[in-house]
Chain A
Amino acid sequence: MDAYLPYVLCLVLFCIGIYAVISKRNIIKIIIGVIIAEYAVNLFLILVAYKAGGRSPIFSRTQEILPEAMVDPLPHALVLTSIVIGLATTAFLIALAVRLYGKYGTFDISRMRELRG
């Protein structure tokens, strides 16, 4: 079980984010839950890529570095893309929240449902 412990801790982080999305009423809290779940997914991919005693996937001109000693570079590339997309979607969620605040005057989604009628 010890070899899986980082994955389990990462899963706990993901579950905290999902719990916030499901149970909270404030829109900003829901956005925070989405951000935390997204961080947990990024962390999980990087944890999968780690090789014990490995090096960063960068060559050097002055030093001989074996390609076999490097960590897995493919998840790094995928996560790099995912982080920037996460920022864009977060900004979109914030814009929606600000718009809803301008319309209803509250961040509370239950009160929004009452005010709609």
Chain B
Amino acid sequence: MSKEHDRGMTIIVKTVTRLTVGLIFLYGIYIILHGHLTPGGGFAGGVIVALSFINVDLAFGGKVSDRIFSKGSTSVIEALGGVMFLALALLGLQWGGFFDNFLHPDGEPGMLISAGIIPLENIAISLKVGAGLFAIFLTLITLQKFESEKK
């Protein structure tokens, strides 16, 4: 067995995770991008994307998930989402006011490219929520490891 199999859960959980985690991630992306057409949006989609990373972390142990998405990059991505949201709000000042929907008349309602800045705001919110939740999870996990090493 390779080194990857030493940590984490059993081989069954690892195999099922390897098969399904990509689908969970894709479902989160779908929920985010179709947030202005169907139920869902940035909040739900962001948490689903974070849950796919949490799934990898729980099944394979901390080292594998740290290689994909480390603790430093969560804070960078969360800040990126916040800055993107605020930048969209401030760009509206050029046209009418704070949070003005300046792209709105482009696109037909009901299509994927429509509704002005709402899809972009959905992406920003999902980055913020997903990265924030995953940062909280990683912090709680790493402190537990720290405590068990101390004993």
Contact = CB atoms under 8 A, between A and B. Distances in A.
B129 A84 contact: yes
For the side of the interface on A, what is the size category? 10 to 19
A42 B140 CA distance: 27
Interface stretch (B19-27, B82-90, B95-103, B131-139): B131-139
A80 B43 contact: yes
Contacts of B2: none
Nearest to A81: B43
B39 interface: yes
Interface stretch (A7-15, A25-33, A90-98): A90-98
A67 interface: no
A88 B110 contact: no
Main secondary structure of the interface of A (DSSP, over half): helix
Interface residues of B, number: 16
Nearest to A99: B143
Interface string B63-101: 000000000000000000000000000000000000000
B129 A98 contact: no
Given A87-B133, A102-B147, A58 B110 contact: no
Contacts, number: 31
Contacts of B15: none
Nearest to A90: B136
Interface in A56-85: 56, 58-61, 80-81, 83-84
**Chain B: interface secondary structure?**
helix
B51 to A, nearest CB: 12
A51 B133 CA distance: 34
Given A58-B38, A95-B136, A95-B139, 10 more contacts: A56-B39, A80-B43, A84-B43, A88-B132, A88-B136, A91-B133, A95-B140, A98-B143, A98-B144, A102-B147
29 contacts: A56-B39, A58-B38, A58-B39, A59-B109, A59-B110, A60-B110, A61-B109, A80-B41, A80-B43, A81-B43, A83-B43, A84-B43, A84-B47, A84-B129, A87-B47, A87-B133, A88-B132, A88-B136, A91-B133, A91-B136, A91-B140, A95-B136, A95-B139, A95-B140, A98-B140, A98-B143, A98-B144, A102-B143, A102-B147
Interface of B: 38-39, 41, 43, 47, 109-110, 129, 132-133, 136, 139-140, 143-144, 147
